[in-house]
Structure 1
Amino acid sequence: MSTWRLRWQGVKSLVFIIVAYPLMALYAIVFLPYALVSPLGASAAAKSWAWTARWLLKVIVGLRTEVRGEIPKGEVLIAAKHQSFLDIIMIYSVVPRGKFIMKRELLWAPIIGLYAWRAGCIPVNRGKRAEAIRSMVADVRAGKSLPGQVVIYPQGTRIAPGVKAPFKVGAAALYQELKQPCIPAATNVGLFWSKSGLMRMPGLAVVEFLPAIPPGLSNQALMARLEAEIETASDRLLLEGGFSAPSLPKREA
């Protein structure tokens, strides 16, 4: 991309931010009475803004968003690749009642914290691994009465495209606790919306839900399967998006 096109893309990215985030505050105000009396209100507000943000990305930035595969419904665990805030937006926009495992510090974030809590998201402390896993499982067990799809990021944080990072055992702990099918999810959104910075690039950002993994596997078998399936599919989506790195297969001419 030429220098002037890159600068123009920066302007469009800034316009998106100036429009999208004040709209988040507006949606929060409009839906607040409903959100305070019912978790459905918080979910409706977040879902409405997520769809609006996807539309604004397409119209302003030239970034299209596509969700592939069968949309998870019912009581399932979703184990997803995490590259930026965009994969959160895309997943939440399509699943009926997403309940994300999130850092406890986010409870204090303006707007996001209140609505995440009311929508049934599960905050966890980032401390010693064993203590954090016990706390997470206990919180999920306590929130079982609120139906929905539990979403966890097995690598624990946002991972830049092409970067390899270990899959953590928290996903296996939830899998054993919930005894529900586990839906892996791959993505390439980090090519267009990075984990830091303001630039939003044009293209096609994809989140892909992969075939369900049935309950009953051992921790080791589950983690091996999650890593293989999520990383393979994410690498494929990166190549589709034009990414090239020594760690990935070369794109055919």
Structure 2
Amino acid sequence: MTNPFRWLLSLVFIVQMYLAMLILAIVYMPYAIWSRAGAWAGIHAFCRWVRFSAAILVGLRSEIRGTVPEGEVLIAAKHQSFFDIILITSAVRRPKFVMKKELKWAPLLGLYALRIGCIPVDRGKKGRAIAEMKRAVAEGAKVPGQLIIYPQGTRVAPGATLPYKVGTGIIYAQMDKPCIPAATNVGVFWPRHGILRKPGLAVVEFLPAIAPGKSISDFMADIEAVIEPASDRLMAEAGFTAP
């Protein structure tokens, strides 16, 4: 049975988180419009606040493990909830994402996403979507940074399975840069849906780099073979047992 007090604290945390997002987006907007550095500064400030307030209000501490990626790399990350986005973004210096095309029209969010070089992708027809994605990746390369993609294409609850999509391999081949796989356990504490946030230690772990030059099929097999067991290990560490 859900503890009503913990549920209420979770609600307070969520409300203040989105309020902080709005306030910081407005405060940093002039700087963000003037310079991309301002956009990253505002985003990092928000991510630091979310990590701090999660620990204070709901007892959800967070930790980054492994070597934080630098330079021009692709980060292929397990995605379980909004909190893994927060952790990765807080850690890397110049994050940019492969994101749903619709998000570029979102108030404030769209502005910041485009300023930091996020790549909007139409998830409609596969052939057209892949062609547009390749064009967008080439365009996005003009903004140096760490490109983050979620190979499964969406949030995946702990214990659930979903195939890895070939788009990640296509971007890896096109970029010809190292890929850093990333595992996480955040879904154990911060679910895809609902209000309740559980106390504990949420982790994102950067795993050893995969060098450029592999075939797309070999690369896809490699990232799944390292991300899934590492995420299972982190979830087991958090006390999660798959049903």
Instruction: Please tell me the TM-score bracket, short chain as reference.
Output: over 0.9
Q: Which residue of 2 aligns with 1:21?
A: 18
Displacement after TM superposition at 1:130 (Å): 2.1
Q: Which residue of 2 aligns with 1:42?
A: 39
Displacement after TM superposition at 1:195 (Å): 1.0
Alignment: residue pair count: 243
Q: Which residue of 2 aligns with 1:75?
A: 72
CA contact (8 A) 2:116 2:143 kept: no
Q: Does 1:162 align with 2:159?
A: yes
Q: Which residue of 2 aligns with 1:122?
A: 119
Displacement after TM superposition at 1:109 (Å): 2.1
Q: Does 1:106 align with 2:103?
A: yes
Q: Which residue of 1 aligns with 2:56?
A: 59
SS at 2:242's partner residue? Answer: coil
Provide the C-alpha distance between the structure 2 equivalents of 1:187 and 1:99, rounded to a whole number of angstroms: 19
Q: Does 1:185 align with 2:182?
A: yes
Displacement after TM superposition at 1:108 (Å): 2.2
Which sections of structure 2, spanning at least 5 residues, go unmatched? none
Q: Which residue of 1 aligns with 2:131?
A: 134
Using the aligned pairs only, state the percent identity.
Answer: 56
Task: Note the alpha carbon deviations across 1:209-230, whole angstroms, 9 max, x for none.
Answer: 0000000100111000111100
Q: Which residue of 2 aligns with 1:85?
A: 82
Q: Which residue of 2 aligns with 1:251?
A: none
Which AA in structure 1 matches 2:32? A
Q: Which residue of 1 aligns with 2:29?
A: 32
Provide the C-alpha distance between the structure 1 equivalents of 2:214 and 2:31, rounded to a whole number of angstroms: 40
Task: Note the alpha carbon deviations across 1:19-65, whole angstroms, 9 max, x for none.
Answer: 22111111111111111121111111011000010000000110001
Which sections of structure 1, spanning at least 5 residues, go unmatched? 247-253
Q: Does 1:144 align with 2:145?
A: no
Displacement after TM superposition at 1:241 (Å): 0.7
Displacement after TM superposition at 1:132 (Å): 1.2
RMSD, aligned CA: 1.0
Provide the C-alpha distance between the structure 1 equivalents of 2:226 and 2:106, rounded to a whole number of angstroms: 33
User: Structure 1 length as normaliser, TM-score?
Assistant: 0.94
Q: Does 1:8 align with 2:1?
A: no
Displacement after TM superposition at 1:110 (Å): 2.7
Displacement after TM superposition at 1:199 (Å): 1.4
Provide the C-alpha distance between the structure 1 equivalents of 2:196 and 2:131, rounded to a whole number of angstroms: 38
Which AA in structure 2 matches 1:143? G
Which AA in structure 2 matches 1:45? G
**Which of 161, 174, 193 is residue 196 of structure 1 equivalent to?**
193
Provide the C-alpha distance between the structure 1 equivalents of 2:56 and 2:107, rounded to a whole number of angstroms: 27
**Which of 154, 172, 175 is residue 172 of structure 2 equivalent to?**
175
SS at 1:208's partner residue? Answer: strand
Displacement after TM superposition at 1:177 (Å): 0.5
**Which of 225, 237, 245 is residue 234 of structure 2 equivalent to?**
237
Which AA in structure 2 matches 1:107? K
Which AA in structure 1 matches 2:176? K
Displacement after TM superposition at 1:118 (Å): 1.2
